[in-house]
Every structure is written in C-alpha cells, then in structure tokens.
Amino acid sequence: MGRVALVTGGTRGIGAAVCRALKAAGYTVAANYAGNDAAAADFTAETGIPAFKWDVSDFEACKAGIAEVTAKLGPVEVLVNNAGITRDGMLHKMSPDQWYAVINTNLNSVFNMCRNVIESMRERSFGRIVTISSINGQKGQLGQTNYSAAKAGEIGFTKALAQENANKGITVNAICPGYIGTEMVRAVPQEVLEKRILPQIPVGRLGEPEEIARCVAFLVADEAGFITGSTLTANGGQYLA
C-alpha cells in the first residue's frame, strides 16, 4: 500500500485528474467532495477511488472526515487542498454571501484541513501538502475580489506553514494554474473565453487538468523534500510572477 493521499474536491475537474495521477503513481487515494453525489459515484465506479462527502468550509466536518479516511485507509501523509468555488461579481455589487462563501470554501478550508492533519504529519516526521491556488491570486482579476483574496491568502499561508514545518520532513507548496478546461471555466461565456481570455494565453489554449495533476505528483513525491514554500505557476505563459 502506498502513502495515503487525500484530495479535496477530488471527484471532478482538476481534483479528479490529481486523484488519477496519484493512484497511477502508487498512492492510496481518497477523494473528498461537497454534494454532487452522481459525479462522485461515477468517479468511484470509474477509478475505484473512494469518495468521502463533507464540506471543507466546516472545521468539525473536516476533523470527522479526516478521521474517517484515517480509519479506513491509514494516516493522511499527502494532502491536496483543491476544493474551490467562484461567486463572481464586481465588489460594488457583491453580497456578503458571495464574499463569505468564497473565503470559507477556498481559504478557511485550507486552515480546516491542514490543522487537522499537521499534528499527525509532525509525529510521523513526513508530510506533503499542496494547495491549488490560482493565477488570479497572483495578479488579481476584476469581478473576483473574493476569489483573488482567497487565492492570494493560500499563497501566504503556504509560505508560513512551510517555514513552521521544514524541519519535520513536511513540505508545503502551492500551485497557481492559469485557465484550465474544467466546469469552472466552462461556466465562462464562450465569447468572453474566445475574445478576452484565450488571446491572453501565449500557449494559445486552455490548460488540461492532467497538466496540473502532473505538477502535484512532482511536488508530493518523496524525492521532492527540498522543495517547500514554493509557488509553481502553470498558466501557459499568461502571467510571469
């Protein structure tokens, strides 16, 4: 049995690609998801990877969910904080609900998950934590003050946690994808995609979820122990941080 890897939001999009890549690399993988039971059932049927349902914005739910994964599969040695949502709108029209939903699901979730695995990782003197941030946390994006703030917060969190645990065999890194062809991006109107987004990407296309999964597999490897506190950009050259 390989190391246990837990991927939040692991049943669809980038997370599902991460789960498949880690399974192929020999990890024992658990996928978390929020509420789309049909997608989770299809994912498990296709991959054989078990799916665990809880809301990552809820601290106690994370605690219980991680305990369940640990009881079924073993201690979590690899954590991929991937779950995320968008609730876009210009700030002058943004409701408190839009703000808090994105901060809670994208940023507070990272505290909720890391806080509930870090002590066990420290005791075992091994851990790999990767958080999927975003290009829009690096450069900001109009209509996304909530999302850009959460994603920038993930980068700062990563750098601080990396320093706290560098002498414990635990690495903590962030990945900043550009535009990747998942349902999150398919929600963008086709005209906006073709006229405004694609022309900004020098590589000339959207990224594939598998291209982000490859970054995760690289960072969580046992051999990647010297890489910590880093931000890996994978954005087709759109923004050079």
State which residue, 39 or 73, has the beta carbon closest to ligand NDP. 39
- Residue among 33, 52, 126, 157 that touches ligand NDP (CB under 6 A): 33
Contact indicator for 77, 26 with CB cutoff of 8 Å: no
What are the φ/ψ torsions at residue 96 (nearest 5 degrees)?
-55, -35
Residues 110, 115, 25, 71: is their CA dihedral positive or negative? negative
Q: In what order do the strands lie in the sheet with 4-7?
A: 51-53, 28-33, 4-7, 76-81, 127-132, 170-177, 231-234
80-139: which residues touch ligand NDP (CB under 6 A)?
A: 82-85, 105, 132, 134
- Residue among 4, 6, 14, 152 that touches ligand NDP (CB under 6 A): 14
State which residue, 161 or 212, has the beta carbon closest to ligand NDP. 212
Contact indicator for 180, 236 with CB cutoff of 8 Å: no
| Type and span of the H or E element at 180 | none
- The pairing of strands 51-53 and 28-33 is parallel
CA dist., res. 66 & res. 75, Å (int): 9
State which residue, 35 or 96, has the beta carbon closest to ligand NDP. 35
CA dist., res. 178 & res. 191, Å (int): 18
CB of 83: closest distance to ligand NDP in angstroms?
Answer: 4
Q: Which segment (53-61, 162-170, 194-202, 214-222) binds ligand NDP by CB under 6 A?
A: 53-61
Please name every residue paired with 234 in a beta bridge, in sequence order, or none if there are none.
177
- Residue among 3, 5, 6, 13 that touches ligand NDP (CB under 6 A): 13
Residues 64, 36, 146, 204: is their CA dihedral positive or negative? positive
CB of 134: closest distance to ligand NDP in angstroms?
Answer: 4
Catalytic residue list contains 33: no
Q: Is 12 in the site for ligand NDP (CB under 6 A)?
A: yes
CB of 239: closest distance to ligand NDP in angstroms?
Answer: 11
Catalytic choice (27, 33, 100, 147): 147
CA distances from 213 to 15, 132, 134, 136, 206 (A): 8, 10, 14, 19, 15
185-214: which residues touch ligand NDP (CB under 6 A)?
A: 185
State which residue, 49 or 126, has the beta carbon closest to ligand NDP. 49
Catalytic residue IDs: 147
**Interface residues toward ligand NDP, by CB under 6 A:** 8-9, 11-15, 32-36, 39, 55-57, 82-85, 105, 132, 134, 177, 179-180, 182-185
